[in-house]
Structure 1
Amino acid sequence: MKTVKQYLASDFEAVTEIIKEHLNPNEVLVNDKSYELFISGGKKIRPSFTLLVGKLGESDKFPDVLRASASLELIHMSSLVHDDIIDNSELRRGRATVYYEHGYLQAVNTGNYLLSTSLSLVSTIEHRALHEAFSKAIRDIIDGELFQLDHQFNAHQTMDDYYRKIYRKTALLIELSIKMGAYASNVDQRTLDVLLDYGYHIGMSFQIIDDCLDFIGNEKTLGKPKFSDLENGHYTLPVLILRNEDPDFRRKLEAFDGEEEQLEELIEGLLRSDAIDQAISISNSHIREALTAIEEIEEPIRKYLQEIAEKLSNRLN
């Protein structure tokens, strides 16, 4: 049987053409940077979900699924540009970020341009529930970005605060990807509910793994410097686990204000502990829940959803 990449190859060619048509470089900085971000790659996970779910519905609706898939990739790209502003990031996918290279104003404009292009694509799909889900998700994603900004260097945030952040940062967009594919192709509600359960757990696992990779990943693979979350005051699951278990680490975290010496002490404490292993275990439990949720989804879609889940969980190896 084909891999998911092979199975969706022709569909992604069509999605790519749709995006290129809307991001045609024209020597205007915002357009050109948006196009560069698109062609620089990325896993294209979210549009993969839209395409796979769309194949469970009515085949004559698939052109709408393709446009929905393209819009999801654009909104994801928009969120990356805005994240780079919040995180003061120098690199994205191994390249200088728009924010680092051209400043705050151009980065904001680029993110907004990608978002408005995504909205333009969505408007061509005639489906009220799809439009409502899309607009609500955008609002919730922005709320999540503001919530993350408000909690920078907050050593007293709760685990619930962390899970709320990563849900809005990652799981919500994966759920939206599934909804878009389902609504665009008229997938039945029972199937959609099952797929949303899968999407929630995949999204939570995906972000927890990302948070672990910030400590133990390869910078070339990550496309950004290691330890950047901690350095920027974004306290992820391994940090919060160790904070709750180790009073000395907690005191150091409460005193942390971004100084390099303080950062090194925190990193050293984390790498000596088993907090990252505990976080990985929580991520793996979400993967198991995701796989259980789709046991009754028809083949070959179930097989490809399983493949994506397994690939995501293996990123740490």
Structure 2
Amino acid sequence: MFPAFEQAYLDVLDHVANEFEFQNAPRGNESRECLGLSFQIADPRDRFAYLAARQVNPVFHYAEALWYLAGRNDLDMIGYYAPRMQRDSRDGVSIVGSAYGSRIFNPLDGDTVSPFDRVLNLLRTEPNSKRGVLQIFGRDELAVETNPDVSCVVALHLLEREGRLHMVCYMRANDIDRGLLADVFSFTMIQEFAAIQLGLEVGAYTHHIGSAHIGDRDLARARRTLQEASERTQRPAFEVRTMPKDTNSDLIAELLRHEAALRTNARQYRPSEIAEMGFDPYWQQVLLMFEAKRQLVHCPADTVDDELIGALDPGLRWLMARRWPRRIAPFEVGQ
């Protein structure tokens, strides 16, 4: 078991890059691969990897997690934060396989209750249940020839034990350099959200992968990341915030109304305006990042407002300064 995600990420990255079992190129993607890889994280809330060489994108991670939590599959929102996902859409409007939240948080097949709510109801009435499975991979996905977007996730499994909500994730495949960062971030957000709805503490997060792989195109970056980790004297230590206890689907919907206004450049918010909206400081940080993204996209000639960046938590400032070094002033630990 690893204490936090970053240590697990580095260990898995090193293992697949340097102790791989196979080299292959399914659909032309040359990669190194290990089969049947698993790890566990003690504190799923500590979900960021503070690695300058990797240039983690915290804005995308929060946007994708909220997209999932809202049960959405639209390309309008997620394509703004990750334009590469547009190539995986069959109709240019929606995403099917990778829209995991749409299969979890919406009623399916004529049901009136979502799979998520059914699992929560089960866990409320059957202590220590083993049946709290949120199935994501659908058998119909393989029936579509040349499907550009087959779900990488088979299922998420929620287990309540001794007052804590644990999650086990089953992946058919995971790109360790790319997808693993985003997947663990979003799935642990779903775990924390579910724990709040059940009035439980957050337990451990376990991640099982059928095919763990790194594309040859990403090997150089993986090696830079591993070298950085080996040369530093200590990992940057930043506060880990806890999702507020009043977080529910209505609050997520309200957050996304503000997100849409910023994404479409219909509004712009100063930090003082965000502070007066009534959101917990946890979610204020997310809106600050969405405003920063608005400036990055819609004000391409300018640096991001210093007052805005200064209002971010130190860990988020550290990550964003490394992701967009030409637009955001450098930030070092201790500033």
User: Which structure carries more strand by proportion?
Assistant: 2
TM over 0.5: no
TM-score normalised by length of structure 2: 0.25
User: Which structure carries more helix by proportion?
Assistant: 1
